[in-house]
Amino acid sequence: MTTPARPASRHHKRPKGEGQWALGYREPLNKNEENKKNDDGLNVRQRIIDIYSKGGFDSIDPSDLRGRFRWFGLYTQRRPGIDGGKTAILEPEELDDRYFMLRVRIDGGQLSLEQLRVIADISNKYGRGTADVTDRQNIQLHWIEVESVPAIWEALEAVGLSTTEACGDTPRVILGCPLAGIDAEETIDGTKPIEQIFERYIGDAAFSNLPRKFKAAVSGCTAHCTVHEINDVAFVGVVNEAGERGYDIWVGGGLSTNPMFAKRLGAFVSEERVPEVYAGVCGVFRDYGYRRLRHRARIKFLVNDWGAERFREVLEKEYLGYALPDGPAPEAPRGGRRDHVGVHPQRDGNFYVGFAPKVGRLDGDKLHLIADIAERHGSGRVRTTVEQKMVILDVAPDQVDSIVADLEAADLQVNPSTFRRQTMACTGIEYCKLAIVETKGLAGKLIDELEQRLPDFKDPLTINVNGCPNSCARIQVADIGLKGQLVVNDKGEQVEGFQIHLGGSVGLNPVFGRKVRGLKATADELPDYVERVLKNFEAQKNEGETFAAWVARADDADLK
Kindly write down the DSSP assignment for every residue of 329-356, as one continuous string. PPPPPPSS--S--EEEE-TTS-EEEEEB
Q: What is the CA radius of gyration of the chain?
A: 24
Q: What is the C-alpha to C-alpha distance for residues 45 and 25, in angstroms, rounded to an integer?
A: 29
Asked if 297 and 25 count as a contact pair (C-beta separation under 8 A), the reply is no
**Which residues does 282 contact at the CB level (< 8 Å), separation at least 6?**
171, 201, 207, 210, 214, 233
- The CA distance from 49 to 188, in Å, is 41
* Nearest Cα to Cα of residue 179 among 381, 407, 333: 381
What are the distances in angstroms from CA 484 to CA 190, 481, 491? 35, 10, 20
Instruction: Tell me the C-alpha distance between 49 and 118, whole Å.
Output: 20
Strand pairing report for 171-175 and 214-219: parallel
**pLDDT one-digit tens code per residue, 388-447:** 999 999 999 999 999 999 999 999 999 999 999 999 999 999 999 999 999 999 999 999
Q: What string of H, E and C letters represents the secondary structure of 408-459?
A: HHCCCECCCCHHHHHEEECCCCCCCCCCCCCCHHHHHHHHHHHHHHCCCCCC
Note the pLDDT tens digit of each residue in 258-306.
999 999 999 999 999 999 999 999 999 999 999 999 999 999 999 999 9
Task: State the CB neighbour count (10 A cutoff) for residue 488.
Answer: 12
Burial tier of 379 (Cβ tally within 10 Å: 0-12, 13-18, 19+): middle
Q: What is the value of pTM for the model shown?
A: 0.95
Residue 395 to residues 342, 344, 348, 415, 416: CA-CA distances in angstroms? Answer: 12, 10, 10, 16, 19
CA distance linking residue 112 with residue 458, whole number of Å? 34
Sheet holding 514-522, edge to edge: 423-425, 463-466, 480-488, 494-502, 514-522
pLDDT at 7: 44
How many CB atoms neighbour CB 399 within 10 A? 17
pLDDT at 15: 55
Tell me phi and psi for residue 536, to 5 degrees.
Answer: -65, -40
DSSP letter (8 states) at residue 388: S
- Taking the chain, what is the end-to-end CA distance rounded to the nearest angstrom? 69
pLDDT of amino acid 334: 83
Name the helix (H) or strand (E) containing 76: strand 74-78
Q: How crowded is the C-beta side of 1, counted as CA atoms within 13 Å?
A: 2
| 40 φψ region: left (φ > 0), alpha (ψ -120 to 50), beta (else) | beta
Task: Report residues of the chain scoring pLDDT below 70.
Answer: 1-15
Backbone angles phi, psi at 361, to 5 degrees: -85, 120
